[in-house]
Amino acid sequence: MKSVVLLCLLVIAGGYALPTSEIVPTQDRIVDYWLIDAIETLTQWIKANGYDPFEFGQNFNWIFFDDTLEIVGYVSRLRFTGASNINIDNLYYNILLGRLDVDFVIPQLFLQIGHYKGQIIQHGVVIYDLEISGSLAINDVRIKGDVLLRLSGGSVQIHNINPQFSIGSIQADPTVIESGRDVSLLVRYFLHVTVPNFLETYKNEINTIIGEQIRQAVNRWW
């Protein structure tokens, strides 16, 4: 669930794809400019810190829970792109009602793994021996909805937020070998069928968690 929240915060904070001139002007533009500026600043931060594109390749040995759990192995040619490429499909602020309507979409989040080989060890016993290669594309990652705001002394407070998080489609072609057994079809089924069904079944709970996380973050930062 934390990954879903993080993904949605990246949608809000990762970047914007349209210049200001292409956004339809709204009343007063106070909130419009604030939101666009915040997104642009964080987009540049994501790119400057090497998170889009993110490339990784090295040996690793990670230890967790006081040596209880260990992950060892290597990964080569891992590349992740798309987090900062955000289109603003709709941005409208009604100053009389204090209501902001938003619609952000990331066209594609793309992960490519050249080769991963690793073991998960618990109490000195190998519980998973994995080899992974292939790609994963998550298309049309969208968050839209309406927000009730209060402006006071240059700060912004969210009183109510009704987000709608959705994913257009998932395309995955990984090759996954677990302890010498090819489980690629099971992994693809999980990504293509189980994940979308989960998002649909628990969409209300997911949207509630996302909305609360965004509300707390905005009220704390601004």
pLDDT by residue for the chain (222 residues), tens only, comes to: 333 333 444 444 433 333 333 334 344 456 777 778 778 887 888 899 999 999 999 998 988 887 789 999 999 999 999 999 988 888 888 888 888 899 999 999 999 999 999 998 988 888 889 999 999 999 999 999 999 887 776 667 788 899 999 999 999 999 999 989 999 999 999 999 999 999 999 999 999 999 998 888 777 766
Q: Give me the pLDDT at residue 12, please.
A: 42
Tally of structural domains, the chain: 1
Assigned domain for 142 exists = yes
Assigned domain for 205 exists = yes
Assigned domain for 151 exists = yes
Q: How many residues does the chain have?
A: 222
Q: Give me the pLDDT at residue 92, please.
A: 86
Q: Give me the pLDDT at residue 158, please.
A: 84
Assigned domain for 193 exists = yes
Residues 6+ apart with CB under 8 A from 71: 60, 61, 62, 64, 118, 119, 120, 121
Assigned domain for 126 exists = no
- How many angstroms separate the CA atoms of 212 and 216, rounded? 6
pTM, entire model: 0.78
Geometric angle at alpha carbon 172, from 108 and 209, rounded to 5°: 60
Assigned domain for 70 exists = no
Residue span of the structural domain in which 168 resides: 2-55+79-110+135-176+188-221
Assigned domain for 63 exists = no
Assigned domain for 183 exists = no
